[in-house]
Copies of this chain bind each other. A is one copy, B any other.
Amino acid sequence: MNNGERNRWARAGLSRLMEPNDLTALALVAVAGAEEAFRLVTGHTGPAPAAEQQAVAELLADGSASKAEHRLDAGLQRWRPRAADCAPARDLETMRRLGGGLLVPEDPGWPEQFDALGLSAPLCLWWRGRTGPESLPGFRDLMAVVGSRDATEYGRHVTAELAASVVASGVTVVSGGAYGIDARAHETALSVGSRDLGASGPATPGAPDECLAPRTIAVMAGGLDRFYPAGNEELLRRVAADGALIAEVAPGTAPTRWRFLQRNRLIAALCAATVVVEARWRSGALTTARRAAEMGREVGAVPGSVFSANSAGCHRLLREGSAVAVTDAAEALELLGESRAHAEQATSGAAAREHASTRPHDGLDIQDLLLLDALPVRTASTPDKLATVAGLGIGAVLGGLSRLEDRGLARRVGQGWQRGGN
C-alpha cells in the first residue's frame, strides 16, 4: 500500500469513527495527518502524545494545556469505542460494489470550494453515481435548491420551474434528498432530457452522453449504502443511477439530527449559490442559507404568501439580509454570475415580460405628459384651450401635439385635437 492508499484508507476509517465536523478530530488530522490520527484512535489505548495535544489545542485556539489534554482525551474516549466496528476495506469494497467510491482532498477531483470551511472541511467524500467524482461540475455550475419537507403545492411548483430552467442552462441542482422541496428539485432535474440542455451546458462538444456532469446531486446525512428517507428510495436510486449521491460519513452510518445539521454545511460550501424555496420560521434550510451567506456564497429566498408558515423562513432570511428575493429562474441564475443570467434571459418570467413591455406614453417629457392629460377623449379642444387646461405655453402645446400625433396619442379633428387611439 503506497502513501496515497494509506491516506485514503485512514480517511475512510476516520469517517466512520468521528462525527462530521468534530473539530477536535479535524484538528488532530490537521496536526498529525490522517494516518497518524487513525493509528492513534485504533492502534493503542494510551493517552495521545503531549506534542500532539499541544498542537491540537493551539489549532483549536484553546490556550490551556490541561484543557487541551482533556479535549483530545475526551475525543479519544468518543472515537475509540467505535474502533471495533471500523473496517475501511469493507466500507471501500461496499461502495465499489454499489458503483461508488471515496474522494479524498488529495484527489484531483476534490472540490476546492470546501476550503471555505476551514478546519470544518470534510475528511473525505463518499460518492455514488453514474460517473466518477472527476465529473463533478465546477463551483459556478452548482446551485443548491433546498427547503421544507412539508412543502406546499406552491413550493413544489416554484421548485419545478426553477430546477428545470437551471438544469437546462447547464447548472447542476444540489439538494439534500429529503421529502418536499428537495425531492421535487431532484426529480425535476432528472426529468430534463439531455436534448434540453443548453449550449452552455455541461456537455463537451462531441463527447458521448456518459461524460455529462450529473444533472443533480444529493448530499446525504447518512451512509450511501441505504436510501433515506424510505419514501424517497426510488427517487434516490434514480439520482444514484443518473446523477450522484455524496456523503462525508461511511456506509452503514445512520442519519441523525447532528449529521443532518452538518450535511447542510456541505451543501452551503459546495455550491456557488443556494436558493431556499420554502422554509418555516425554524428550518434546517435556514441553517444552510446562513452558512452559505457567512462563507460569502450567494443566497436567494423565494417570497410567498405572508399567511404561509412555509414561507416565513424565506421572509426571515430576506428581512435579516442573508438572502435576496428570487422570483424566477433568471434571477436564480443571476446569483451564479451575470454572464449566465444573460444567457438565460429568455426563460425569465412574468416580471421580465412586463419589464420589456412599453406603454405609449413612456419617455414623454413632463410638458407632453401634461398635454396628454389635457386632451379630451370624446370632444376636441383648441390649442389655446389646451394651453390653459394643461398649464402650458402655446408653443409647447403646438410642438407637443405634433409629438403626440407621431405616437398616435393625439389626433386632429377639424380645427381641434383629441386623444388618439393608442
Residues of A within 8 A of B (CB): 17-19, 22, 74, 77-79, 81-82, 84-85, 154, 157-158, 256-258, 280-282, 302-307, 309, 311-312, 314-316, 318-319, 324-325, 327-328, 331, 349-351, 354-355, 359, 361, 366, 369-370, 372-374, 384, 387-388, 391-396
A393 and B355 form a contact (CB under 8 A): no
Extra pairs beyond A77-B396, A304-B305 (10, CB < 8 Å): A22-B391, A81-B387, A84-B388, A256-B374, A281-B355, A305-B305, A309-B350, A312-B354, A318-B324, A325-B325
Number of copies: 2
Q: Which residue of the partner chain B has the closest CB to A157?
A: B307
A/B interface sample: 28 pairs, CB < 8 A: A17-B391, A19-B370, A77-B393, A78-B393, A78-B396, A82-B391, A84-B388, A85-B388, A154-B305, A157-B307, A158-B306, A256-B373, A258-B369, A258-B370, A281-B351, A282-B354, A302-B306, A303-B303, A303-B305, A304-B306, A306-B327, A306-B349, A307-B350, A309-B350, A312-B327, A316-B351, A318-B318, A319-B327
Alpha-carbon distance between A77 and B396 when the two chains are bound, in angstroms? 9
Q: Which residue of the partner chain B has the closest CB to A162?
A: B306
B325 and A78 form a contact (CB under 8 A): no
Determine the chain B residues whose CB is within 8 A of the CB of A82 once the complex forms. 388, 391
A395 and B315 form a contact (CB under 8 A): no
B351 and A79 form a contact (CB under 8 A): no
A306 and B303 form a contact (CB under 8 A): yes
B373 and A258 form a contact (CB under 8 A): yes
Alpha-carbon distance between A236 and B338 when the two chains are bound, in angstroms? 48
B391 and A78 form a contact (CB under 8 A): yes
Taking the nearest CB of chain B, how far is it from the CB of A161, in angstroms?
9
B305 and A19 form a contact (CB under 8 A): no
Q: A interface, by DSSP: helix, strand, loop or mixed?
A: helix
Taking the nearest CB of chain B, how far is it from the CB of A291, in angstroms?
16
Q: Which residue of the partner chain B has the closest CB to A334?
A: B319
Determine the chain B residues whose CB is within 8 A of the CB of A354 once the complex forms. 280-282, 309, 312
Alpha-carbon distance between A387 and B81 when the two chains are bound, in angstroms? 7
B327 and A373 form a contact (CB under 8 A): no
Determine the chain B residues whose CB is within 8 A of the CB of A77 once the complex forms. 392-396
Alpha-carbon distance between A168 and B143 when the two chains are bound, in angstroms? 45
Decide yes or no: A315 and B391 within 8 Å by CB, A303-B303, A306-B302 being known contacts: no
B306 and A311 form a contact (CB under 8 A): no
Determine the chain B residues whose CB is within 8 A of the CB of A393 once the complex forms. 74, 77-78
Alpha-carbon distance between A322 and B95 when the two chains are bound, in angstroms? 51
B79 and A391 form a contact (CB under 8 A): yes
Determine the chain B residues whose CB is within 8 A of the CB of A256 once the complex forms. 370, 373-374
Taking the nearest CB of chain B, how far is it from the CB of A164, in angstroms?
15
The 6 closest A-B pairs by CB, nearest first: A77-B393, A303-B303, A256-B373, A281-B354, A306-B327, A81-B388
